[in-house]
Structure 1
Amino acid sequence: MSIITKKLIALDLDGTTLNNDGKISPQTKTTINQAVKAGCVVSLVTGRPNRISENFYDELNLNTPMINFNGNLGILPHQQWPREYQYTIDKEIVMELLEKSQELGLSLIAVEGRNLFLANHGLKSGFGFFPSTLKTNQILSQQSLKDNPISITVEVKPELKAGLIDFIKNQFGDQVEVSPWGGPHPIVEIATKGVHKSTGLKFLADYYGILQRDIIAFGDESNDATMMAFAGTGVAMKNANSQIKELADDVTEYTNENDGVARYLQEHLDLAVNQ
């Protein structure tokens, strides 16, 4: 009987594990559960905050650490864990952005942490990531922001986006880095300099004692690049952008809409999945 090497499978969510409706298909769920039963360690490594990814973690019945905010937070959901970590940003940066929001063209400023969500206002088209109306205790102000956040997300007028990025780099470039979102929305995310998805993936590999060569990481967007480069096998989705496909070790035969992750794992890990 052959011994299957223990694998660490790192899953991005949007455009990868989730279909275009933002859901986990039955086939993907069954396959991931089967991979866990076969002895693999499966972890979500996502740019999403924990508040809108724990539902998927629960749906997949995972009990592994989850990495959020592109590597800036590592937690065991629903519990306190001595090994959890977070990288935070000086809240004075938020205050300066609030003060200069009009001249910088910022229509939204949202700050988040593990148990923190504040914004200057709701967002009518919140892209599924932000509430459209805020509770009183969610309104961002100098008084309400008591702790340093993990992430700052801003919506900027498209024509002022480049200027905003230059401003942040010039003013705070030694502390933070700026990541424009993929897709049609003029959204920019600000987080701790030098922390990426690979930070979280290395943390998971060290925690479980798994070698880089035994890591499989799935992704589709630019924020997945470091994670896929760190993994022994970086797998780009068929629907991934061209940059990610170029640096990947492999590309799925199917898109996220057609169970690309599940089909890849079934084939390459020889999983017995009842269709």
Structure 2
Amino acid sequence: MFKPSAIFIDLDHTSLDARVNNKSVFSEKNRKAIIEINKEIPVVISTGRGLTSATKEIIDSVNLNSYVLWNGAKVVVDNEEVFLKEIPQEIALEIFDEIAKFKSVMVLNSDFKNQSYFAWKSLRFVLKLLRFDSLKKYDEFDRESTIFKFIVFDLRKEKLFKIRKHLEEKFGNFVTITESGNKNNILEISAKGVSKASGNKIFCEHKNIDVTRAIHLGDAMNDASCVGVLGKTIAFANASDAFKKVADEVLPYTYENAGLARFLEQFKK
């Protein structure tokens, strides 16, 4: 493979291959590989996550000061926020109300701990098993909130398809909607024009880096926006089937057991 101008890495199911205190973290092999490669080639986290304390700990553990969050809605370069784009508030409120009609789970700004909403608190125990730490009822939503990203969950995939179709027809001019999860069973909604590809490109522009020689590693369809924009978009073997079909390359191994370090090995001097 060509020597990339930058390496963008997703977090969950791509590079976070270990667990400590019930939190996803880099294995020591991945952590050391990122730090070493970053000395020669910029390594940038590009994730759907927001900057929670847990995500900040992950970033700090590898000494990185540039990252792309909320699928491109927030871009930080050399510890400076260079891009931030929220969903227009009026549109965000309408989207919240439309999703509520379907009685599906919503997480705002990727904040599972504080901004998870659902119709019935009676299902709290079941949903906590699915990572929802503090479930709130729809009517507890603060309508003055600034929203950068919606995550929409539903156990019925056909229902998610209906939600996506409905939202695209009603709000397609204002938002970007993509799927994520290894079974494409999650919807993610950001402002129009916002994607991991756009966020990665903004980083490259600020660093005067050729984006067509950059690479992106991921596992889901929210990584697919990078295809045709970056030089190469790469999927691990555990990636969703839909993403593997469009990725430029599919690795023969999964992200587990330091799969990222294994991939980065080729770029060591």
TM-score by length of 2: 0.80
Query: How is 1:156-167 mapped onto 2 (pairs within 5 angstroms)?
Result: 156=154, 158=156, 159-167=158-166
Q: In structure 1, how many angstroms separate the alpha carbons of the residues matched to 2:64 and 2:196?
A: 19
The alpha-carbon distance between structure 1 residues 56 and 139, as it changes in their structure 2 partners (threshold 3 A), is: farther
- Give 1 or 2 for the bigger CA radius of gyration: 1
Measured against aligned partners, the alpha-carbon deviations of 1:38-58 in whole angstroms (never above 9, x if no partner) come to: x21111001122215222101
TM-superposed CA distance for 1:20, in Å, is 6.8
CA contact (8 A) 1:110 1:140 kept: no
TM-superposed CA distance for 1:266, in Å, is 0.9
The alpha-carbon distance between structure 1 residues 129 and 47, as it changes in their structure 2 partners (threshold 3 A), is: farther
TM-superposed CA distance for 1:17, in Å, is 0.8
CA contact (8 A) 1:88 1:191 kept: yes
Secondary structure of 1:177's counterpart equals strand
Q: In structure 2, how many angstroms separate the alpha carbons of the residues matched to 1:264 and 1:99?
A: 43
Q: In structure 2, how many angstroms separate the alpha carbons of the residues matched to 1:156 and 1:251?
A: 28
Q: Which amino acid aligns with 1:27?
A: K
The alpha-carbon distance between structure 1 residues 257 and 119, as it changes in their structure 2 partners (threshold 3 A), is: closer
Secondary structure of 2:165's counterpart equals helix
The alpha-carbon distance between structure 1 residues 249 and 93, as it changes in their structure 2 partners (threshold 3 A), is: closer
Q: In the alignment, which residue of structure 2 is the partner of 1:211? A: 210
Q: In the alignment, which residue of structure 1 is the partner of 2:148? A: 150
CA contact (8 A) 1:6 1:210 kept: no
Pair 1:68 & 2:69 matched: yes
TM-score by length of 1: 0.78
Q: In the alignment, which residue of structure 2 is the partner of 1:25? A: 27
Q: In structure 2, how many angstroms separate the alpha carbons of the residues matched to 1:164 and 1:69?
A: 20
Q: In the alignment, which residue of structure 2 is the partner of 1:171? A: 170
Secondary structure of 1:10's counterpart equals strand
Higher mean Cα deviation, 247-256 or 23-32? 247-256
Query: How is 1:190-229 mapped onto 2 (pairs within 5 angstroms)?
Result: 190-229=189-228
Q: Which runs of 5+ in 1 are unaligned?
A: none
Q: In structure 1, how many angstroms separate the alpha carbons of the residues matched to 2:87 and 2:62?
A: 31
Q: In the alignment, which residue of structure 2 is the partner of 1:96? A: 94
RMSD, aligned CA: 3.3
Q: Which runs of 5+ in 2 are unaligned?
A: none
The alpha-carbon distance between structure 1 residues 108 and 234, as it changes in their structure 2 partners (threshold 3 A), is: closer
CA contact (8 A) 1:67 1:200 kept: yes
TM-superposed CA distance for 1:173, in Å, is 1.4
Q: In the alignment, which residue of structure 1 is the partner of 2:51? A: 50
Pair 1:108 & 2:105 matched: yes
Q: In structure 1, how many angstroms separate the alpha carbons of the residues matched to 2:43 and 2:130?
A: 25
Measured against aligned partners, the alpha-carbon deviations of 1:245-264 in whole angstroms (never above 9, x if no partner) come to: 34444333431013222112
TM-superposed CA distance for 1:233, in Å, is 2.9
Secondary structure of 2:13's counterpart equals helix
The alpha-carbon distance between structure 1 residues 184 and 254, as it changes in their structure 2 partners (threshold 3 A), is: closer
CA contact (8 A) 1:20 1:256 kept: no
Secondary structure of 2:237's counterpart equals coil
The alpha-carbon distance between structure 1 residues 259 and 177, as it changes in their structure 2 partners (threshold 3 A), is: same
TM-superposed CA distance for 1:213, in Å, is 4.2
Secondary structure of 1:17's counterpart equals coil
Higher mean Cα deviation, 51-60 or 124-133? 124-133
Q: In the alignment, which residue of structure 2 is the partner of 1:251? A: 250
CA contact (8 A) 1:31 1:262 kept: yes
TM-superposed CA distance for 1:178, in Å, is 2.3
Q: In structure 2, how many angstroms separate the alpha carbons of the residues matched to 1:42 and 1:97?
A: 34
Measured against aligned partners, the alpha-carbon deviations of 1:17-49 in whole angstroms (never above 9, x if no partner) come to: 112753311111111111123x21111001122
Provide the identity percentage: 25
The alpha-carbon distance between structure 1 residues 161 and 58, as it changes in their structure 2 partners (threshold 3 A), is: same
